[in-house]
């Protein structure tokens, strides 16, 4: 991480981060919190959960509370996504593209 980014990230709340990420993907944030388990929405939700916890440093418990899910669900989803991103270079590119498009690191 570039020096100074820690401060920038900490100023963006969890709710604001979700808004920015959802906007970058062109999905309504409320849909991410819904119980919809369709493939597309689940995939997008998992990507956002991964970015929130693994890249932006939000606590799993806080993310779980915000999304109305169990912390174990968030943890297992993000772990599976992390493994997938290691095995698939396009997943890593997808993460970087999302962070760039959301402009979350520069808010």
| DSSP symbols for 5-37 | HHHHHHTS-HHHHHHHHHHHHT--HHHHTS---
Per-residue pLDDT of 27-39, as tens digits, reads 999 999 998 888 8
**Residues 80, 72: Cα–Cα separation, whole Å:** 12
How many domains does the chain contain in total?
1
pTM score, whole prediction: 0.80
- Give the domain extent around 86: 5-106
Look at residue 4 and tell me whether its pLDDT is greater than 70.
no
Q: CATH number for the domain including 89?
A: 1.10.1750.10
Distance set, CA 60 to CA 3, 11, 54, 56, 75 (Å): 24, 18, 9, 11, 7
**Residues 103, 80: Cα–Cα separation, whole Å:** 25
Per-residue pLDDT of 9-18, as tens digits, reads 447 899 999 9
pLDDT of residue 62: 97
Are 5 and 105 contacting, i.e. CB atoms less than 8 angstroms apart?
yes
């Amino acid at each position: 991480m570039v020096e100074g980014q820690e401060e920038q990230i900490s100023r963006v709340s969890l709710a604001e981060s979700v808004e920015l990420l959802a906007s970058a993907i062109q999905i309504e944030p409320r849909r991410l919190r819904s119980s919809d388990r369709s493939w597309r929405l689940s995939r997008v939700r998992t990507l956002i959960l991964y970015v929130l916890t693994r890249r932006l440093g939000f606590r799993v418990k806080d993310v779980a509370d915000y999304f109305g899910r169990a912390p174990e669900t968030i943890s297992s989803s993000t772990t599976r996504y992390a493994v997938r991103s290691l095995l698939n270079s396009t997943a890593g590119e997808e993460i970087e593209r999302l962070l760039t498009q959301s402009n979350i690191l520069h808010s």
